[in-house]
Structure 1
Amino acid sequence: MNQTTTLAQLLTAVAVLDQHGPTEVSIRSLTLDSRQAGPGAVFFALRGTAADGHQFIAKAVEQDAAVVVCEELPAELNPATSYVQVADSAAAMALMAAGFYGHPSRQLQLVGITGTNGKTTCATMLHKLFRELGYHCGLLSTVQNQIDEQVIPSTHTTPDAIRLNALLAEMLRAGCTHVFMEVSSHAVVQHRVTGLHFAGGVFTNLSHDHLDYHGTFDNYLKAKKKFFDNLPKSAFALSNADDKRGAVMLQNVAGRRETYSLRGHGEFRARLLENAVHGLHLELAGREVQFRLIGVFNAYNLLAIYGTAVLLGEDATEVLTVLSGLTSAPGRFEPVVSEKVHITGIVDYAHTPDALENVLQTLADIRQPSQQIITVVGCGGNRDGAKRPEMARLAAVLSDRAVLTSDNPRFEDPNDILAQMQAGVPVTALGNVLTIADRREAIKTAVALAQPGDIVLVAGKGHETYQEIKGVKNDFDDKQVLKEMFELLGK
């Protein structure tokens, strides 16, 4: 960050519609929260889903904000404040934030991973891989942000543009050379990654998710595609050739276009030799390699990670050697074991039909004939309701027993969510499905139903350590609750 940055310097990359007041103003801070505005601050009035920042311009001016950036100028202008009118405040904020922090992304090997499933696993494992290869690295993910080993709590898949550029600048000062980040569809549409310079982009897959926000699947697809359309000519774009939208992502990409595949043609190809409880056995780049991750979906993740590392210039043999010893991200097909009971617990973040089907299909592939699969699953409130019946149908059809329960109901009645889920349960499977709104009781019941050797899958929340009910985040950790129930059973 340059302490002597002026408004004029920050506006060089911004299309200004109208401007009032001086531009040779020294800027000390940027904020989208009027309560944090003060002398030397630029306040950005953003139109959000919950509130319109334009309503707080007067508050920011009261706080002595030096500059207001907005889409609509207020009726009364304070002569002591500079006003900048733009077409999109979020886009302007991203471009100005990049400039304010000295464009840190230009000095980093920044790789963005996008897609419905696999983003966290790929970003986390790339961070682990490059750390093992001897680099100082940053991680920006749903689970947490990291500078090497230092953990910085995460609140969104992708932070707002100000926080994001501040984090990248901090990573650069700490000596990081590579940063791996999840890029959500929300982040693209809301301009959180606008103005960043990416060394590469990775597409994992696309399935039903976030339609509550994007409205249609086509809009969701376009949001993902926009990330690739904006990659610079110097960047690579690595896409899953086996996903039917994989080719779409590479259309009109300015930089290097690469693909990975398990089933067909691709620059990076693998053949699945074994998918077992002890891990994956793949033939990759002419070598047979044993990995600690389980499931076909993780075979795709491993291919994406391997391809990214090679495209960043790393030695293929060294990458495979290190990658074979790495574990996945927290809450992603994470085993929960107890010495007292012979039941296998699995906690997974699967909260979309595609992700749940992947996990259940993996369990079906690796289980012994005598093992039952008992699934606990719910759906979040105030989110895409169309996937609820399908989530319940998959749990009912692909499990021996299923317990439908609450996830993060937010401001919805959990019973209304469960009623929508129950509508998807086939008549032939009704006898194998229980509905228990209390998530703790649902997990307790699933464990009680299990016999020695069985598998209990608790899906939907993964790494989360809370349950959001009516605006309050209550402590709740699926892994911890599962451990508690194993302990009770073992007494």
Structure 2
Amino acid sequence: MTGATLRAQHVRPGDLFAALPGTRVHGADFAPTALDSGAVAVLTDQAGIDRAALAEHPAVRSGQVSLLVHEDPRRVLGAASALIYGDPSSKLRVLGVTGTSGKTTTTYLLESALQAAGFCTGLVGTVETRIAGDRLDSAFTTPEAPDLQALLAVMVEHGVTFVPMEVSSHALAMGRVSGTHFAVGAFTNLSQDHLDFHRDMEDYFQAKALLFDGRAEHEVVCVDTDWGQRLVGPGTVTVSTAGDAAWTAADVRAHPTGEQTFTAHGPDGLTMPVRLRLPGAFNIANALLAIGVLHAAGVPAWAIERGLAEVDVPGRMERVALGQDFTAVVDYSHKPGAVAAVLDAARAQVDGKVIVVLGCGGDRDVAKRPLMGAEAARRSAVLIVTDDNPRSEDPADIRAAMLAGAREVPADQRGEVLEIGDRRAAIAAAVERAEPGDIVVVAGKGHETGQEVAGVVHPFSDREELAAALRHRLGGQEPTPQETVVRRGQGDEEAR
């Protein structure tokens, strides 16, 4: 076999077609497309074998195609794909990062330090995939198993040696990283998210915990929360911004530029001066985790120091500065804990007001909507509740849930709460309200370049819209329409 895929339309001659059971249809129903395109084997379950589309196909009836049957084909698809593609992760040092928030930032910190040390790197994550410097858009935080193994094989061909990878709970629960060898597995934190996919927080945690079931050679865990403490076992490298751990931070200083400096203290008396371009206490935790991972992977301290000092992360507390006399940032925070952390960081940066634009995505965890509204309301002088990606839901219903949470905060503990459904207008209103020394935070979508409404993805970039609103305020120019071409599902299916 020359390749593997679970999408019948992507089959090429010599491929394995994985016909997986789904919630609405069975992959075996698409077997004719795969077989007519040259699939030489089909991996499925007994229900798939019994589907007429597969069982009655001439290639199957004549014995020209191998049928592989497993009670849970998804569970073994990763290992099968790894075998087909030559077990590429065994030739790489894969650094897996899981957790609710901080995965993207941590992988960018890892990549920068590895490049400073002279290594050829790959990157797999929410914003993008990179192979030796070449950029690809990401459809999922962590690709499906056959796609991941094919991607890792291409990285091997291009001379990549280290691969920082975001590992989502979906990927762990659905076996997408089965068959992948991890040099290091790392954990950031856990807060409410994805309860549309997981039964409850414990189920969510158990999915994350799969990265620490022995599949990683080294394990590095942030123990600032009880969730992280539960993952600690013999040999675990711990990091903490607040307590005892193998890696801790001291002398933390926030600078007016938004930069931060601190001293990292590690095992055997090792100390390391660290400078970050990224604001917020949560980024101290992300940096410490990255340091722990890099040290475990054998990266020298000088490269870690240099690499961490050079990182900017798209859509993560990303400044948009056009000469205005207030701060304006775009951030991807889209769950209660992340919203709270980002706004705490924003409040620490400026002496003026915090003005927030925030929405919630549709067809996702509905319980977090009032929580997000409440967290934003109690940390801002002005909260503008707007639309995010409503998807198939009524945007007004989503906003109403957020507003309900915001208004449960006592009036003397929150600022002004407004509702402006049109996101472009909401951003413009926030910019118009800003005064010297204030900070405008446009939260929720970060790096995304589209807004999904009723099944259609419309071009929309918070960064571009914020810049347009700033230009209008500074020069009286009308904001210009977006011209970005958007691919459906660009990097938000699991992360959001």
TM-score by length of 2: 0.88
1:135 CA drift (Å):
0.6
Pairing of 1:411-450 with structure 2 (within 5 A): 411-426=392-407, 428-429=410-411, 432-450=416-434
Check conservation: 1:200, 1:231, Cα contact below 8 A.
no
1:49 CA drift (Å):
4.7
Identify which range, 70-79 or 162-171, moves more after superposition. 70-79
Q: 1:208 aligns with which of 179, 192, 213?
A: 192
Distance 1:103 1:431, change over 3 A: closer
Alignment partner of 1:374 is 2:350: no
Q: 1:309 aligns with which of 273, 294, 299?
A: 294
Alignment partner of 1:269 is 2:252: no
Q: Which residue of 1 aligns with 2:492?
A: none
Q: Give CA-to-partner distance per residue, 1:103-138, whole Å, 9 cap, x none.
A: 010011111000000000011121111111111000
Q: Which residue of 2 aligns with 1:281?
A: 261
1:328 CA drift (Å):
2.8
Q: 2:276 aligns with which of 280, 284, 291?
A: 291
Gaps of 5+ in 1: 1-26
Check conservation: 1:275, 1:296, Cα contact below 8 A.
no
Aligned-partner Cα distance in 2 for 1:477–1:52: 36
Q: Which residue of 2 aligns with 1:344?
A: 327
1:230 CA drift (Å):
4.1
Q: Give CA-to-partner distance per residue, 1:181-228, whole Å, 9 cap, x none.
A: 000000001111001111010000000010101121111000000111
Check conservation: 2:275, 2:305, Cα contact below 8 A.
no
Distance 1:49 1:133, change over 3 A: farther
Q: Give CA-to-partner distance per residue, 1:419-469, whole Å, 9 cap, x none.
A: 111110235448711111111011011111111221100000111111111
The one-letter code of the counterpart of 2:305 is L
Pairing of 1:213-232 with structure 2 (within 5 A): 213-232=197-216
Q: Which residue of 2 aligns with 1:260?
A: 239
Distance 1:438 1:50, change over 3 A: farther
Secondary structure at 2:146's aligned position in 1?
A: helix
1:272 CA drift (Å):
4.4
Q: 1:65 aligns with which of 10, 17, 39?
A: 39
The one-letter code of the counterpart of 1:48 is G
1:305 CA drift (Å):
1.0
Aligned-partner Cα distance in 1 for 2:252–2:2: 57
Pairing of 1:458-477 with structure 2 (within 5 A): 458-477=442-461
Identify which range, 76-85 or 104-113, moves more after superposition. 76-85
Q: Which residue of 2 aligns with 1:365?
A: 348
Aligned-partner Cα distance in 2 for 1:240–1:89: 34
Alignment partner of 1:33 is 2:13: no
Aligned-partner Cα distance in 1 for 2:469–2:155: 41
Aligned-partner Cα distance in 2 for 1:322–1:66: 46
Q: Give CA-to-partner distance per residue, 1:41-77, whole Å, 9 cap, x none.
A: 3211123356431332344344453222111222535
Distance 1:332 1:316, change over 3 A: same
Distance 1:141 1:64, change over 3 A: closer
TM-score by length of 1: 0.89
1:309 CA drift (Å):
1.1
Aligned-partner Cα distance in 1 for 2:328–2:303: 33
Aligned-partner Cα distance in 2 for 1:471–1:419: 21
Distance 1:34 1:265, change over 3 A: same
Q: Which residue of 2 aligns with 1:241?
A: 223
The one-letter code of the counterpart of 2:458 is N
Check conservation: 1:38, 1:66, Cα contact below 8 A.
no
Q: Which residue of 1 aligns with 2:488?
A: none
Q: Which residue of 2 aligns with 1:21?
A: none
Instruction: Give the CA RMSD over aligned residues.
Output: 1.7
Distance 1:51 1:338, change over 3 A: farther
The one-letter code of the counterpart of 2:247 is F
1:40 CA drift (Å):
2.4
Q: Which residue of 1 aligns with 2:435?
A: 451
Alignment partner of 1:56 is 2:30: yes
1:291 CA drift (Å):
2.6
Aligned-partner Cα distance in 1 for 2:165–2:26: 28
Secondary structure at 1:433's aligned position in 2?
A: strand
Distance 1:104 1:288, change over 3 A: closer
Q: Which residue of 2 aligns with 1:8?
A: none
Aligned residues: 456
1:38 CA drift (Å):
5.2
Distance 1:185 1:385, change over 3 A: same
Check conservation: 1:124, 1:141, Cα contact below 8 A.
no
The one-letter code of the counterpart of 1:107 is K
The one-letter code of the counterpart of 1:320 is E
Identify which range, 50-59 or 38-47, moves more after superposition. 50-59
Alignment partner of 1:172 is 2:148: no
Distance 1:48 1:128, change over 3 A: farther
Secondary structure at 1:214's aligned position in 2?
A: coil
The one-letter code of the counterpart of 2:225 is D
Distance 1:201 1:50, change over 3 A: farther
Aligned-partner Cα distance in 2 for 1:292–1:282: 12
Distance 1:186 1:28, change over 3 A: same
Check conservation: 1:262, 1:272, Cα contact below 8 A.
no
Distance 1:344 1:100, change over 3 A: same
Identify which range, 359-368 or 51-60, moves more after superposition. 51-60
Identify which range, 77-86 or 456-465, moves more after superposition. 77-86
Q: Which residue of 1 aligns with 2:50?
A: 74
Alignment partner of 1:106 is 2:90: yes
Aligned-partner Cα distance in 2 for 1:51–1:145: 30
Matched residues, percent identical? 38
The one-letter code of the counterpart of 2:228 is G
Gaps of 5+ in 2: 266-270, 476-496
Q: Which residue of 2 aligns with 1:19?
A: none
Q: Structure with the greater relative contact order (CA < 8 A, sep ≥ 6): 1 or 2?
A: 2
1:82 CA drift (Å):
2.1
Check conservation: 1:225, 1:248, Cα contact below 8 A.
no
